[in-house]
C-alpha cells in the first residue's frame, strides 16, 4: 500500500529517511501551489535551509505498477545520470538539487531554491523581458543538448525503467493529439467542440503534424516540459555572471529532439502575447493581434536573444539539422495546440480567446517559413548570420567547443 504524504506526517517521514533530526526544529508549509499531478510541501530546517517534498498523486491502476505513477522517477534518473557521468556537471548546475527519492511511494525531495522566483511571475510582476535572462536560458539549454548529443551511453541510461515497468520507446510529442472519438461528444460541452472542429478539419495541419511525427529524431537529453513556470531566475540576476536561471521539474525528461525544447519555450513567450489579446466580436483576428495588451514586439527581442544564444553555444546543430529553425517554429505551434487541448481537458472550456491562439498555432505548424518574422521579428538569415563565422572554424577547433563548462556557485559580475 502506498504511503500518503501530508503536512502532518512529512516531518516524521524526513526524520525516518535521515534527512533531518528532531533537533532541526523543522516546520512544514503546505500552502504551496498544488498541481493536478503532485503534492508539494515546503519544509524549513534550522538555518533557514528548506526542502521541497513532492509526491505524485496516484491516478489509478493505469498510471503505473500498483497504481503508482512514475514521472518523479525521471527527475531522479536525471540526478543519477549526473552522478554516474560527472562530466555532465553543467546539468546539475542549471537544475535543482535532488537529495532523496523513495521509488516505492513516489516521493522526491530536493533543495528549495529560495533565492529564485518563477520566470512567468517575474515577467508578469515587472512587465519587462530582459534579454540577459533569455540569453542565459538559451546558453543553458544549448549546453544540455550539446553535451549529450548522440552519446549512446547517456541514451541507454535514460532508457532505464522503474522496477517492474518496461519502456519500449521514447515519447514522440508530435503524436500527442489523436483523432476525435465518439466518446468525446459526451465528455465536453458543445461549445468546446469548436477546438476539435477547427483542428481536425484542417488537412494541411494534420499533414504537417504527421510529417513532424515521421521525422522525429531523438538525439539528446531533453527537458520536454520547458515553460516559464519551470524556469527560475535568481533574485540578483542583474549582478551575476552565471547561475542566473535554473530549470526545474524534470519529470518528463528523456531522450528527445532539441528543436522541441526550444519550440516549447518559445511557445510560452508567444502565449504572453496571445493571452493578452483584446477580444471583441466586432474585431477581425488581425486587429485583435495588433491590439494586444502585451504586443508581440515586446517578447520578440527575448525570443531572438534566446535563439541566438542557443545557436552561439551549439552552432553545429545547424549542420546536423539544416531545417532546425523551421522545426523550432513548427514545434512552437504544436506546443500552443497541445496547451489548448490540455486546458480543454481540465476546464472543458474553449471560447473566443482560444480561437486566435489556435489560428496562430496552425499557421506556425503549416507555414513555418512565412511565420519566422512573426515569431522572431527578423528574417531567418538574420538569426543565423552571426553563426556563419563559427561555421568556418576548422572542425578540430569546433569540437573543442563541446568541452563541458562548470559553474557550481553564483559568481558576482566582474569577479
Q: Which residue ranges form the domains of the chain, and what is each CATH number?
A: 24-35+39-111 (3.30.200), 117-400 (3.90.1200)
- The span from the CA of 295 to the CA of 273, in Å, is 6
SS3 label, residue 222: strand
Give one DSSP letter per residue of 326-344, joined into a string: HHHHHHHHHHHHHHHHHHH
Which run of H or of E encompasses 93? helix 89-94
Q: Encode 101-130: b = buried (16+ Cβ within 10 Å), e = exposed.
A: bbeebbbbbbebeeebebbbebbeeeeebb
- The span from the CA of 60 to the CA of 58, in Å, is 6
The predicted pLDDT at position 21 comes to 84
The predicted pLDDT at position 407 comes to 45
Report strand pairing: 50-56 vs 231-234: unpaired
DSSP-assigned letter for residue 103: T
The predicted pLDDT at position 206 comes to 87
Give one DSSP letter per residue of 358-409, joined into a string: HHHHHHHHH-HHHHHHHHHSS-HHHHHGGGHHHHTS-HHHHHHTTS-----S
Nearest C-alpha neighbor of 142 from the set 204, 237, 221: 221
| Joined grid coordinates for residue 292 | 494586444
Nearest C-alpha neighbor of 143 from the set 261, 263, 301, 302: 261
Question: Angle, to 10 degrees, between the axis of helix 203-214 and the axis of helix 354-366?
Answer: 60
Contact 329, 263 (CB under 8 A): yes
391 Cβ partners below 8 Å, 6+ apart? Answer: 315, 318, 319
- The span from the CA of 254 to the CA of 77, in Å, is 9
The predicted pLDDT at position 56 comes to 87
Phi, psi (degrees; rounded to nearest 5) at 32: -75, 150
- The span from the CA of 74 to the CA of 2, in Å, is 19
Q: Return the bridge partners of 107, or none.
A: 55, 102
pTM of the full structure: 0.86
pLDDT, averaged per 10 consecutive residues of the chain (415 residues), comes to 86 91 76 71 87 78 49 90 90 88 93 92 95 95 96 92 69 67 61 65 85 92 95 90 85 93 98 86 77 93 97 95 96 93 70 80 95 95 75 52 48 53
Q: Where do we find the cell 489548448?
A: 340
- The span from the CA of 237 to the CA of 91, in Å, is 19
| Joined grid coordinates for residue 61 | 491502476
SS3 label, residue 56: strand
Which run of H or of E encompasses 101? strand 98-102
Contact 121, 272 (CB under 8 A): no
Amino acid at each position: 500500500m502506498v504511503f500518503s504524504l501530508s503536512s502532518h506526517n512529512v516531518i516524521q517521514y524526513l526524520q525516518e529517511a535521515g534527512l533531518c533530526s528532531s533537533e532541526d526544529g523543522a516546520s512544514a508549509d503546505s500552502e504551496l501551489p498544488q498541481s493536478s499531478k503532485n503534492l508539494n510541501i515546503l519544509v524549513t530546517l534550522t538555518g533557514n535551509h528548506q526542502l521541497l517534498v513532492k509526491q505524485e498523486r496516484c491516478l489509478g491502476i493505469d498510471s503505473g505498477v500498483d497504481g503508482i505513477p512514475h514521472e518523479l522517477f525521471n527527475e531522479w534518473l536525471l540526478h543519477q545520470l549526473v552522478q554516474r557521468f560527472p562530466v555532465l556537471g553543467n546539468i546539475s548546475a542549471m537544475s535543482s538539487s535532488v537529495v532523496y527519492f523513495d521509488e516505492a511511494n513516489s516521493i522526491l525531495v530536493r533543495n528549495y531554491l529560495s533565492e529564485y522566483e518563477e520566470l512567468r511571475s517575474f515577467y508578469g510582476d515587472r512587465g519587462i523581458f530582459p534579454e540577459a535572462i533569455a540569453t542565459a536560458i538559451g546558453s543553458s539549454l544549448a549546453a544540455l543538448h550539446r553535451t549529450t548529443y548522440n552519446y549512446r551511453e547517456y541514451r541507454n541510461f535514460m532508457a532505464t525503467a522503474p522496477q517492474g515497468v518496461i519502456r519500449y520507446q521514447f515519447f514522440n510529442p508530435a503524436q500527442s493529439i489523436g483523432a476525435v472519438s465518439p466518446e468525446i461528444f459526451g465528455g465536453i460541452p458543445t461549445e468546446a467542440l469548436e477546438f476539435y472542429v477547427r483542428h481536425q478539419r484542417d488537412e494541411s495541419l494534420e499533414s504537417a503534424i504527421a510529417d513532424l511525427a515521421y521525422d522525429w529524431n531523438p538525439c539528446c537529453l531533453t527537458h520536454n516540459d520547458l515553460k516559464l513556470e519551470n524556469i527560475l531566475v535568481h533574485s540578483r540576476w542583474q549582478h551575476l555572471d552565471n547561475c542566473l536561471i535554473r530549470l526545474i521539474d524534470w519529470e518528463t525528461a528523456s531522450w528527445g529532439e532539441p528543436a522541441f525544447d526550444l519550440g516549447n519555450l518559445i511557445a510560452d513567450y508567444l502565449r504572453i502575447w496571445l493571452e493578452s489579446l483584446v477580444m471583441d466580436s466586432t474585431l477581425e483576428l488581425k486587429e485583435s493581434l495588433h491590439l494586444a495588451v502585451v504586443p508581440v514586439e515586446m517578447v520578440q527581442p527575448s525570443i531572438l536573444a534566446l535563439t541566438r544564444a542557443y545557436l552561439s553555444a551549439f552552432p553545429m546543430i545547424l549542420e546536423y539539422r539544416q531545417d532546425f529553425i523551421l522545426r523550432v517554429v513548427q514545434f512552437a505551434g504544436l506546443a500552443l495546440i497541445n496547451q489548448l487541448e490540455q486546458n480543454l481537458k481540465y476546464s472543458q472550456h474553449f471560447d473566443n480567446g482560444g480561437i486566435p491562439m489556435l489560428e496562430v498555432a496552425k499557421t506556425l505548424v503549416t507555414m513555418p517559413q512565412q511565420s519566422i518574422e512573426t515569431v522572431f521579428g527578423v528574417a531567418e538569415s538574420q538569426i543565423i548570420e552571426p553563426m556563419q563565422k563559427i561555421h568556418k572554424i576548422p572542425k578540430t577547433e569546433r569540437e573543442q567547443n563541446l568541452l563541458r563548462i562548470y559553474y557550481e556557485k553564483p559568481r558576482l559580475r566582474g569577479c
